[in-house]
């Protein structure tokens, strides 16, 4: 289990232990900094916390409660997640990673206004809430943002594309096309808003993912590079050192000493 997986699992387990104390559970969930939504056994939303309302610029809980049903969500149906969600009602916990939130559907469904967010990718943990008889009475969905894109639409769309296609070879033409700009104009605009070229942004993101893989003791350095679709050679090792100040082997040794 990776570090992010452990964090999500620990949060879910903590909430489960609080379920026996309804008042305490509700108070903590209400003030929790991440969006949380609770559904009854039919899949209908019965509770949303402040963080979820703030995330989607909702003005009243009644915009969602009693109206949204997780089993009838077209996006969830299209992604074929219904079977996994049904397992939560049987007492299991489900994890979904780097899921693109269907913002367009949400905005249209609830009539949301003035939402400046262009795209959100979330890690979602759905866990059961049981009564004293160990029977599942509802489920809770914990939503943690992995990537959020706000600001100038063309640049945010390009950043989203680069971060979604980071395992592929860098393609300036495809990225500029997503932003609906010519290559030359796109490069200038991207650098103006991010302080770097599109390629440097892509490379930095790729190196950050490699650093995450090097944290995994179950992977060799060669396997970590392969997981990022990179060859472990002098050139890529040099790129890594240029970005981090260390060669991959040195970086891993430092991590071991500090852990």
- pLDDT by residue (tens digit) across 151-190? 788 999 999 999 999 999 999 999 999 999 999 989 999 9
Tokens of 7: 């964090």
Q: What is the DSSP letter of 55?
A: H
Q: Which of 116, 150, 184 is the last residue of a domain?
A: 150
Whether 35 and 103 share a structural domain = yes
Whether 35 and 133 share a structural domain = yes
Instruction: Calculate the average pLDDT of the chain.
Output: 87
Whether 60 and 91 share a structural domain = yes
Whether 97 and 160 share a structural domain = no
Whether 157 and 239 share a structural domain = yes
pLDDT of residue 3: 46
Tokens of 34: 């991440």
**Phi, psi (5° rounding) for residue 25?**
-60, -50
Q: Which of 107, 130, 150 is the last residue of a domain?
A: 150
**Degrees to nearest 5, angle at CA 94 with 15 and 142:** 45
CA 211 to chain centre: 18
pLDDT of residue 129: 86
User: CA torsion 97→103→108→114, rounded to 10°?
Assistant: 140
Whether 222 and 144 share a structural domain = no
pLDDT of residue 144: 92
% of residues, the chain, pLDDT over 90: 57
pLDDT of residue 255: 73
Is the pLDDT higher at 6 or at 106?
A: 106
Residue 230 neighbours by CB under 8 Å, 6+ apart: 206, 210, 236
Whether 120 and 195 share a structural domain = no
Across the range 108-128, mean pLDDT stands at 87
Whether 191 and 135 share a structural domain = no
Is pLDDT at 6 greater than 60 in this prediction? no
pLDDT of residue 259: 60
Give the lowest-confidence range in 16-20, 83-87, 222-226: 16-20
Q: Which of 106, 133, 150 is the last residue of a domain?
A: 150
pLDDT of residue 174: 96
Beta bridge partners of 121: 100, 147
Whether 97 and 218 share a structural domain = no
Residue 238 neighbours by CB under 8 Å, 6+ apart: none
Provide the pLDDT confidence category of residue 117 given band limits of 50, 70 and 90. confident
CATH number at residue 50: 3.30.450.20
Tokens of 33: 């900094």
pLDDT of residue 156: 93
Whether 144 and 157 share a structural domain = no
pLDDT of residue 2: 47
Whether 144 and 180 share a structural domain = no
Q: By residue range, what is the domain housing residue 38?
A: 3-150
Whether 157 and 140 share a structural domain = no
Q: Cβ distance 236 to 243 under 8 Å?
A: no
CATH number at residue 181: 1.10.10.60
| pTM (global) more than 0.75 | no
For the chain, how many structural domains are there in total? 2
Is pLDDT at 142 greater than 70 in this prediction? yes
Which of 48, 88, 80 lies closest to 66, judged by CA? 48
Spatial separation of the C-alpha atoms in residues 87 and 65, rounded to whole Å: 23
What is the length of the chain?
259
Which of 127, 121, 162, 124 lies closest to 17, judged by CA? 127
Is pLDDT at 26 greater than 90 in this prediction? no
pLDDT of residue 12: 58
Is residue 1 classed exposed, middle or buried when 0-12, 13-18 and 19+ CB atoms within 10 A define those classes?
A: exposed
């Amino acid at each position: 289990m990776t570090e992010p997986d452990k964090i999500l699992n620990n949060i879910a387990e903590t909430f489960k232990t609080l379920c026996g104390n309804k008042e305490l559970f509700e108070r903590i969930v209400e003030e929790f900094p991440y969006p949380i939504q609770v559904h009854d056994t039919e899949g209908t939303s019965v509770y949303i916390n402040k963080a979820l309302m703030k995330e989607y610029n909702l003005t009243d809980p009644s915009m969602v409660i009693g109206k949204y049903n997780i089993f009838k969500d077209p996006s969830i149906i299209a992604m074929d997640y219904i079977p996994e969600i049904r397992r939560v009602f049987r007492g299991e916990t489900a994890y979904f990673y780097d899921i693109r939130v269907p913002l367009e559907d949400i905005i249209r469904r609830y009539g949301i206004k003035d939402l400046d967010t262009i795209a959100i990718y979330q890690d979602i943990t759905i866990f059961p809430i049981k009564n004293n008889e160990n029977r599942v009475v509802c489920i809770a969905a914990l939503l943690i943002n992995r990537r959020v894109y706000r600001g100038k639409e063309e640049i945010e769309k390009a950043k989203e594309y680069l971060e979604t296609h980071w395992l592929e070879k860098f393609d300036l033409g495809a990225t500029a096309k997503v932003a609906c700009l010519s290559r030359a104009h796109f490069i200038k605009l991207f650098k103006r808003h991010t302080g770097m070229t599109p390629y440097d942004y892509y490379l930095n993101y790729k190196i950050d993912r490699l650093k995450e893989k090097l944290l995994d003791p179950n992977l060799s350095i060669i396997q970590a590079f392969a997981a990022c679709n990179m060859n472990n050679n002098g050139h890529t090792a040099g790129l890594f050192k240029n970005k981090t100040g260390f060669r991959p082997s040195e970086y891993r040794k430092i991590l071991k000493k500090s852990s």
